[in-house]
A and B are shown apart, each in its own frame.
Chain A
């Protein structure tokens, strides 16, 4: 949906290299999330943010860091990529609780670590 974009859409990188994924929103929502999606697992939370410079870890945060210096941008960094981080990464935003849907997802980034 318009309002949240992820970049890049696809990336192949080598083991040991740093990688940064970007999530950009135009909805001015406070909450932003990074998830990974792997076969056999539901979406799993990596990190989330509840405001500028306010971030916290999710259930699978090891090997990942995040930054949020502006409301609209939430960056996910793999400090030293490993093959186990090959996955599809989704960014999401959540709006006010009285909104009809609550969550909006980006289109995903397919990351392959070789």
Chain B
């Protein structure tokens, strides 16, 4: 069964800073998910990726399958980026059931 770890648990940044959040997993996967959850809010899927890099606006997600590692980057961070960012991977290879990290709480100050 897969295990997933995120780092850091908490992150504080000034507006405009470049942010990196890391995710490591233990078992080979078909795809990795990055999710965002605002305080008191619902959960939004940001990316699902199986190789390489994906970009959406100021968000960039990368994955290294050999290293079993993914990063989520936020360029030119803004206070509205303040949220919990969650990494999720399949519990077993090629299953739709996910295992979730405990999340990285990001606070961006003006």
Contact = CB atoms under 8 A, between A and B. Distances in A.
9 smallest CB-CB distances across A and B, nearest first, come from A42-B100, A101-B45, A105-B43, A102-B48, A43-B100, A107-B42, A42-B102, A94-B96, A103-B45
- What size tier do the contact residues of chain B reach? 20 to 34
Contacts, number: 59
Nearest to A41: B102
Interface of B: 4, 30-31, 33, 35, 41-48, 86, 88, 96-103
Nearest to A35: B100
Nearest to B46: A101
Nearest to B42: A107
B45 A42 contact: no
B43 A48 contact: no
A45 interface: yes
